[in-house]
Chain A
Amino acid sequence: MHLVVCAKQIPDPDTPPSAFKIDEATNSVVPAPGISPILSQFDGIAAEAALRIKESQGDDSKVTVISMGADSARAAIKQVLAMGADEGVLLNDDAFEGGDSYTTAKVLAAAINHLGDVDAVFCGRQAADWDMGQVGLLLSEELNWASAIIAKGVEYGDGNISVQRVLTDGFETVSTQLPAVVTVSNEFGEPRYPKLPQIMAAAKKTVTQFGASDLGLDPSDVGASGSRLKVERLYIPETDSNVEFMEGDTPQEQAAALVQKLQADKLI
């Protein structure tokens, strides 16, 4: 069984708000000094889901991690390799830059087709930078595969993958035939802590790199020139910081003041 994990390297979402800066001229995030990009947390969880299935299936299964991004994305790939993935693929080409979710899915789909024998793809429920949550589904459309999104549990048996997915007010277990794309949510659980032997094995593994021509993609179909959605403005929202702190020498006085305010505003 061949499973693919799609991993994205993103600016650290835990960047302190004061260090989060935007270049409004280019509509891009300015990397915060001293803060390195990281593997999108949901992708780590997706890797965990894939690895658990691999482990339940025995030795002839493998997990390939694919990342589209700059050369620095190798770190994200290595991280998933250290968790136990077998092979890593970096999709790196100037032509891929500046794309949207659609072109990203297109490149990933081309890479998956290039690998050939893939049974299932695992993505995070959304990349924790743009928070769109659509690459997984677009990928399933590109590949014409079934999909199940926002999984909190995934099991495999008899050619079917069953996914417990998170709904607004509960959970629903759906089953679908492979091949399929699954997006995994944080309810699934924390990704594993890599064991040192695997970290060292991962460090020694070579990451295969593909560009547009390797995948048979026309550069004008991908990246900025192929994208259908354009960011026209990126900005930090103003927050109205007019907080009024409750006065009082004791917690009782402060609490009483608050209750009075809330009553006056007819909130309680």
Chain B
Amino acid sequence: MAQNILVIGELDDGAASTTTLELLAGASSLSDGGSVGVTLLGAGASSAATSCVGATVAYVNDDSEYDSFRGDQWLNAIAGAVESSSPDVVLIAQSIVGREIGPRLSHRLGTAVAMDCVSISNDGGATKATRPCFGGNAMATYGFETSPAIATVRAKSFEILESGSGPATTEELPGAGESRTAIIATEEATSEGLQIQDAPVVVCGGRGLGEAEAFSQIEEIAAAIGADKAAVGASRAAVDLGWYPPSQQVGLTGKVVTPDLYLAVAVSGASQHMAGCSGSKTIVGINRDEEANIWSFSRYGIIGDYKQIVPALIEELKKAAGN
């Protein structure tokens, strides 16, 4: 059954963000012939809208006031798009935008939102949203009693459409109005180089390392794989102990990463951690514990003390890179 879907898009340096494109891909398959709208707010929105493959309508405003996200300003604009497109489903990325807009929009529209979903399906016109819960120990599938169904969706839940056309029509949304919140300061995260969410390889250290100093070895592994390919992550336990900066935390309350290779060193694989990396293509564990939870997710593993294995691995990786 055809559904009208509205995607709340986000801009990344003036272009539609990767996740926005993923959501549009998901929306076009879910819509089953219905309309797919996308909202884009901020400087460069109208030009970015043209690249929104999968969308049939774009709702835009180029007001640079929108560049810094303030929920109340965005909500007013989005309400206009909702009114105009009367969607059955609203999809938003599980980002700072989605985390705030999802619940607030659901309240304003008298409906509900399912947060942090990993899959959305169209079950004969009824929208079903599936998401991990209980720290990743369980999955729950939700149905909606009210309409529209709103869901915030995790990055990389859908594959971007390789080809297709952009929106046929573009509608202008109102400019940013007053806001109750003032943004006083922003601060970039201090991590250098490759962002952990973008890296094709993530090497992650856990509490089992035993000491902050051991992270230099984890960094060495990443360097041996290649500074342009590999980034370093840390489990929440390690971050809470102050061994590594919070910006690199992988897990339920940190970054959700989906690299091609996720190398977990001395990470036990608690479900809260796996919630942040289980989408990785290949997970490799190094752990001394034969019973560790990480093995349930791993493709390859080495059982043993990381203190022995890591130096050997660094050596082997360097050899491999030399060839």
Query: Which residues of A are in contact with B by a Cβ distance under 8 Å?
Result: 11, 13, 15, 17, 20, 22, 27, 29, 100-102, 105, 125-126, 128-134, 137-138, 140-142, 146-150, 152, 162, 165-177, 185-187, 190, 227-237, 239, 241-246, 250-252, 254-256, 258-259, 261-263, 265, 267-268
Give which listed residue, B140, B197, B308, contacts A168 with CB less than 8 A.
Answer: B197
Whether the pair B139, A243 counts as a contact (CB closer than 8 A) is no
Whether the pair A230, B184 counts as a contact (CB closer than 8 A) is no
Q: Which residues does chain B contribute within 8 Å of A168, judged by CB atoms?
A: 95-96, 197, 255
Q: Which residues does chain A contribute within 8 Å of B272, judged by CB atoms?
A: 13
Whether the pair A177, B180 counts as a contact (CB closer than 8 A) is yes
A258 smallest CB distance to B (angstroms): 6
Per the 8 Å Cβ criterion, residues 228-246 of B in contact with A are 229, 236, 240, 246
Give which listed residue, B116, B236, B315, contacts A252 with CB less than 8 A.
Answer: B315
Q: Which residues does chain A contribute within 8 Å of B205, judged by CB atoms?
A: none
Give which listed residue, B181, B197, B293, contacts A17 with CB less than 8 A.
Answer: B293
Q: Is the interface of B mostly helix, strand, loop or mixed?
A: mixed
Complex Cα gap A242–B247 (Å): 31
* 8 more CB-based (< 8 A) A-B contacts, given A100-B112, A138-B104, A167-B96: A101-B112, A168-B95, A173-B187, A186-B253, A230-B142, A231-B142, A239-B296, A255-B302
Complex Cα gap A235–B137 (Å): 9
Q: Which residues does chain A contribute within 8 Å of B284, judged by CB atoms?
A: 258, 262
Query: Which residues of B are in contact with A by a Cβ distance under 8 Å?
Result: 68, 70-72, 95-96, 99-100, 102-104, 106-108, 111-116, 128, 131-135, 137-146, 180-189, 195, 197, 201, 225-226, 229, 236, 240, 246-247, 252-253, 255, 260-261, 271-272, 281-282, 284-285, 293, 295-304, 308-309, 311-313, 315-317, 319-320
Who on chain B is nearest to A132 by CB? B115
A226 smallest CB distance to B (angstroms): 10
Please judge, given known A-B contacts A142-B107, A170-B189, A242-B299, whether A268 and B317 are in contact too, CB under 8 Å. Answer: yes
Give which listed residue, B99, B184, B298, B313, contacts A133 with CB less than 8 A.
Answer: B99
Who on chain A is nearest to B128 by CB? A232
Complex Cα gap A141–B282 (Å): 42
Who on chain A is nearest to B251 by CB? A186
Q: Is the interface of A mostly helix, strand, loop or mixed?
A: mixed
A15 smallest CB distance to B (angstroms): 8
Q: Which residues does chain B contribute within 8 Å of A267, judged by CB atoms?
A: 201, 260-261, 281-282
A189 smallest CB distance to B (angstroms): 9
Whether the pair B184, A173 counts as a contact (CB closer than 8 A) is yes
B95 smallest CB distance to A (angstroms): 6
Whether the pair A229, B114 counts as a contact (CB closer than 8 A) is yes
Whether the pair B261, A268 counts as a contact (CB closer than 8 A) is yes
